[in-house]
Amino acid sequence: MKSSVGLGLALAAGLVVLGVAGWRAPSAPPPGVSPGVARLVRQLTARPGLHRRLAERLTEVVPGLAGRLPVFLRSETVQRRSLEACHNLMALGPAVQPVVPGLLPALRGADSSTAFYAWLVTVYSGLPPAEVLSLARQSPGTSEALIGLCAGRLTTEDEQLREFAWRCLEAAGAEVRKAAPRLQELAAATDPEISRRAQQLLDSAAVGQPAGP
């Protein structure tokens, strides 16, 4: 056991050396974006890199190694910082609007938590839903991801999130067909307002025009 842990620690040390050697300084933030906001966006969208993934595999092979890994090699550290960045960016409100175009592609990423965090930050940025949808259409697959996220929040208790979701779909025109299964479910809801809005969206999808108020 001691020899396997020793080997694991040696391999982990090798990963540390490789990680330091491969480190690159972050690029300058886009015009109009403060370095602090740019740092939070990088933190929110960061995924465990090769060294963390390899370290994670090592902990599966070598029992007892997980607690001995340096903090920066642990994947949960990335996940915790991503959530913290989400809360910090949400609190900044309109100050994050300049980074929304660069943040939207994260909506279609493989990590559902990161996609949801990016959506939350976008909503709390205060940009109008129709404008966000227009920005999303500039990146392949992003508007579809945005519509999917909105379709899943049409009955959430948070009014700001709920209204953003409805208004985004109401501006989507024919693209709202991607949310048809959820809208058909809501059109049969007992709440008359939800049922009306869902049916109106289904009707707008049929004619390919944005839904009316």
Distance CA 66, CA 57 (A): 10
Same domain, yes or no: 89 and 170: no
Measured CA to CA, the distance from residue 143 to residue 191 in angstroms comes to: 28
The answer to whether residue 118 is domain-embedded is no
56 lies in a domain?
yes
76 falls within a domain: yes
My answer on whether 85 and 132 are in the same domain is no
**Alpha-carbon gap, residue 91 to 88, rounded angstroms:** 5
Domain closes at, from 50, 73, 93: 93
Whether 115 is in a domain gets the answer no
pTM of structure: 0.73
Band of pLDDT at residue 111, cut at 50, 70 and 90? confident
For position 164, what pLDDT does the model report?
Answer: 98
Within a domain: residue 73? Answer: yes
- Whole-number CA gyration radius for the chain: 22
User: What is the per-residue pLDDT across 162-179, written as a single tens digit (0 to 9) for each?
Assistant: 999 999 999 998 899 999
pLDDT at 212: 56
Residue 211 confidence (pLDDT) above 70: no
Query: What three-state secondary structure class fits 49?
Result: coil
Cβ neighbors of 98 (< 8 A, separation 6 or more) are: 30, 32, 33, 37
Q: Which comes out higher in pLDDT, residue 70 or 16?
A: 70
Full domain range(s) for residue 198: 128-213
For the chain, how many structural domains are there in total?
A: 2
Model confidence band, residue 12 (pLDDT cutoffs 50, 70, 90):
very low
Q: Quick check: 72 and 80 in contact, CB under 8 A?
A: no
Model confidence pLDDT, tens digit, residues 124-141: 999 999 999 999 999 999
Instruction: Assess whether 147 and 202 both reside in one domain.
Output: yes
Mean pLDDT of the chain: 78
pLDDT exceeds 70 at position 28: no
pLDDT at 46: 80
113 inside domain = no
Is the pLDDT reported for residue 78 higher than 80? no
Q: What is the pLDDT of residue 137?
A: 96
User: Which residue would you say has higher pLDDT here, 203 or 19?
Assistant: 203
89 and 36 in a common domain:
yes
